[in-house]
Structure 1
Amino acid sequence: MTTLYIDADACPVKDEAERVATRMRVPMILVCNGGLRPSRNPLVSLVIVDQGPDVADQWIAAQCGAGDVVVTADIPLADRCIKAGAHVLTPAGEELTRTNIGQRLATRDLMSDIRAADPFFRGGGSSFTRADRSRFLQALDATLTIAQRGR
């Protein structure tokens, strides 16, 4: 059975994911360090992990597997989930796969090095838009359908 895991601490599409999961009758697990209210939806579970760096990521990576879907913006977590056989989407609806995760990890590492070398570097992502939400909804629907079919 497919399960939808949400790296929930800073996820901007929790509500959208819940709507899709409910419509498709897929259990959804929100994983965070706290600060979220439990949903009344019987398909949605809330897992609160201990405080600390990457504790939620470690929990998700240990639980997910083939046929599951993970929503995260964390590239190292995405890599671990892909290796476990899960489908991975970013909150902006980008599918991360074995084909593109290496490039994303390299870019992440490069940007980390640039920030470390220049503390005044102001690089950053663009703001989250309606188009991102729409793209996410379409991608999640398609990805859950594929996951439920076992591909």
Structure 2
Amino acid sequence: MIIYVDADACAVKKETVQIARKYNIEVVMVASICHITKEDGYSRYLIVDSGDQSVDMTIVNRVNKNDVVITDDYGLASMVLMKRAFCISSRGLIYNLENIDRLMMQRYIGQQIRKGGGRVKGPSKHGKEDDLHFIQGLDKLIYEAQYNPFE
């Protein structure tokens, strides 16, 4: 199992590494050249070009069944699920085949409203409660991936 992180705007890199160390799981941070950050001493870093969807496509092309991906991008989450990998948001939302269609539809409706000149409220600022939900969710997801993997 490998944990892939959509690292361009990820608010839970430190928490991800903390949990990965606990389970001795490899972490791969994938970021565009525009978002290079200081390495954490544990993760492997893949730096890709700054083209649209470069990070997403790098993750999709590398992820394998029963790996874990951390992203807030519903489109990437949808592709990851189709590869039978596990996926979680930085707020601890575990993406699955039961909720991804609704999330994708919400994204589409928001795009249509913005395209028509309207405004859509974005997510609230990431806080400590979100970090706790993420840590609990990632723990649960790793357990699920190890003891109830995709066949």
Q: TM-score range by the shorter chain?
A: over 0.9
Root-mean-square deviation (CA, aligned residues, Å) is 1.1
Work out the CA distance in 2 between the residues paired with 1:20 and 1:66: 20
What amino acid is the match of 2:121? G
Q: Which amino acid aligns with 2:59?
A: I
Aligned to 1:136, the other structure's residue is in SS state: helix
Q: Which residue of 1 aligns with 2:87?
A: 88
Shift of 1:36: 1.5
* Unpaired segments ≥5 residues, structure 1: none
The count of corresponding residues between Structure 1 and Structure 2 is 147
Q: Deviations over 1:68-110 (max 9, x none)?
A: 1100000100000000011110000000101110000000000
Cα distance, 1:130 vs structure 2: 1.1
1:53 alignment partner in structure 2:
52
Structure 2 segments unaligned to the other structure (5+ residues): none
Aligned to 1:40: 41
Q: Distance in 2 between matches of 1:63 and 1:3?
A: 10
- 1:17 is matched by which residue type in structure 2? T
Matched, 1:3 2:22: no
Paired residue secondary structure (1:73): coil
Mapped contact 2:113–2:120 kept (Cα < 8 A): no
* SS of structure 1 residue aligned to 2:45: strand
The answer for the alignment partner of 1:140 in structure 2 is 138
Equivalent pair of 2:110/2:120 in contact (CA under 8 Å) = no
Cα distance in structure 1, aligned partners of 2:117 and 2:28: 38
Mapped to 1, the partners of 2:120 and 2:148 lie a distance apart of 42
Separation in 2 of the partners of 1:118 and 1:57?
Answer: 28
Paired-residue identity, %: 27
Aligned equivalent of 1:126: 124
Does residue 109 (structure 1) correspond to residue 112 (structure 2)? The answer is: no
Between the aligned partners of 1:62 and 1:26, the Cα distance in structure 2 is: 19
Structure 1 residue 150: deviation in Å? Answer: 4.4
TM-score by length of 1: 0.93
